[in-house]
Amino acid sequence: MADLRDYTSLRVGGPAKKFVEVGTESEIIAAIEAAGDAPILIIGGGTNILVADSGFEGTVIRIVNHSLQAEVDACSGATLTIGAGENWDEFVAITIDRGFAGLETLSGIPGTVGAAPIQNIGAYGHEVSEFITRVRTYDREKKAVKTFTNLECEFTYRSSHFKEHPGRYVILDVQFNLRQGELSSPITYSELAAKLGIAVGEKAPINVVRTNVLELRAAKGMLLNPNDRDSWSAGSFFTNPIISKEVAEKLPEGAPRWPTSDGLVKTSAAWLIENSGIHKGDTHGGARISTKHVLALTNSGSATATEIAELARSAQQSVFEKFGINLVAEVNLIGVEL
């Protein structure tokens, strides 16, 4: 019997009733069909899930299909089609080695290519949706392959059509369009620009951007590293709240306020948590707020899923009591409620 703690970066979670690894598209579809009406949990790297200590009463399908096709055209750049089971960061490294620009600021994000569109992964001023041209899926309801254009994916901040319809679509492969070139897009994230020693809006070589992003991430425990327990996490546990202008105006002076394109305001979940009295390194049993980044809930070594969830609830409660804002989990909760 597979223990899900062995397949998740938080290293918590009980047994799966049934566990299969699938390495080809036909195996993926066959495994889904074989599960029949039993509950299914699709996983890739397990870096964005919190699984209950009681485990999963159904079939866990771990996607490990590998494929990479590249077509390069002087006008339209590189069109790359990647199997869902490929490791995201290994794919990013390949694009940079081959001189394709675009994904450099997304270096070091753990997990698989197939999970990247689900929550529209993002970091250092860019989101993966900027580079995706299509996503090919298996529609479990219609029992047929369905391809989504970028627009049809309905990407938003840390969400997509797939996240909004949990369990329906299994991503088989993802197609990206990248520019050929040695220089990055303009760097819009001030912390990264400062690290690169350039002004915001300037460009830098893509391999240099990658190295600097990896260094920044490592310093925050946001790079998977078995020896760094601050990285025994699921990344940012909560999304940055998007609130009305009226609510934003009531926040204290120092609170970050980033206007969104639809007239709302995004604020920082990390700032809210830190200013509600929670500190880096705070513990609850074996669960711990990262010692490097207040937004990451971590397993200090012996945590249970229950303890991680209790720590998350206490952060939510502190922020709600202090600021009246409800933090929403970015992490996918499997058999766990906040």
Ligand X SMILES: Cc1cc2nc3c(=O)[nH]c(=O)nc-3n(C[C@H](O)[C@H](O)[C@H](O)COP(=O)(O)OP(=O)(O)OC[C@H]3O[C@@H](n4cnc5c(N)ncnc54)[C@H](O)[C@@H]3O)c2cc1C
- Binding-site size for ligand X (CB under 6 A) equals 33
Single-letter amino acid, residue 129:
S
Q: Single out the residue of 60, 109, 187, 336 in contact with ligand X (rule: CB under 6 A).
A: 109
Per CB under 6 A, the segment of 12-20, 94-102, 118-126, 308-316 that binds ligand X is 118-126
| Window 5 to 34, contacts with ligand X (CB under 6 A) | 9
Give the separation between CA 332 and CA 317, rounded to whole angstroms: 19
Neighbours of 12 (CB within 10 A): 28
55 touching ligand X, by CB under 6 A? no
Of the listed 25, 104, 307, 330, which one is catalytic?
Answer: 330
48 touching ligand X, by CB under 6 A? yes
Contacts of 325 (CB under 8 A, 6+ apart): 241, 243, 247, 267, 272, 319
52 touching ligand X, by CB under 6 A? no
Q: What is the dihedral of CA 218, 219, 221, 225, to 10 degrees?
A: 40
**Nearest approach, Cβ of 74 to ligand X (angstroms)?**
32
Q: Single out the residue of 16, 60, 92, 234 in contact with ligand X (rule: CB under 6 A).
A: 234
Six-digit token string for 256: 């970050």
Of the listed 160, 184, 236, 290, which one is catalytic?
Answer: 236
Contacts of 205 (CB under 8 A, 6+ apart): 182, 183, 184
Task: Judge residue 327's burial from the number of C-beta atoms within 10 Å of its C-beta, 0-12 exposed, 13-18 middle, 19 or more buried.
Answer: buried
Residue 276 catalytic?
Answer: no
224 touching ligand X, by CB under 6 A? yes
Inter-residue contact 239 to 124 (CB < 8 Å): no
Per-residue x/- marks for ligand X, 67-96, CB under 6 A? -----------------x------------
Residue 154 catalytic?
Answer: no
51 touching ligand X, by CB under 6 A? no
Q: What is the dihedral of CA 85, 86, 88, 91, to 10 degrees?
A: -160
**Nearest approach, Cβ of 171 to ligand X (angstroms)?**
4
Task: Decide whether 62 or 284 has the Cβ nearer to ligand X.
Answer: 62
Q: Single out the residue of 77, 111, 241, 335 in contact with ligand X (rule: CB under 6 A).
A: 111
Q: Single out the residue of 13, 14, 44, 335 in contact with ligand X (rule: CB under 6 A).
A: 44
Q: Go through 119-156 and write b for each residue having 16 or more CB atoms within 10 A of its CB, e for each that does not.
A: bbbbbbbbbbbbbbebbbbbebeeeeeeebebeebbbb
Inter-residue contact 332 to 10 (CB < 8 Å): no
Task: Decide whether 124 or 323 has the Cβ nearer to ligand X.
Answer: 124
Which residue's Cβ has the minimum distance to ligand X? 111
Task: Decide whether 4 or 178 has the Cβ nearer to ligand X.
Answer: 4
φ, ψ for residue 208, nearest 5 deg: -70, -40
**Nearest approach, Cβ of 157 to ligand X (angstroms)?**
10
Per CB under 6 A, the segment of 14-22, 229-237, 275-283, 300-308 that binds ligand X is 229-237
Residue 134 catalytic?
Answer: no
Give the separation between CA 338 and CA 326, rounded to whole angstroms: 11
Catalytic residue positions, numbered: 158, 236, 330
**Site of interaction with ligand X (CB under 6 A):** 9, 41-49, 63, 84, 109-112, 114-116, 118-119, 121-123, 170-171, 222, 224, 231, 233-235, 332
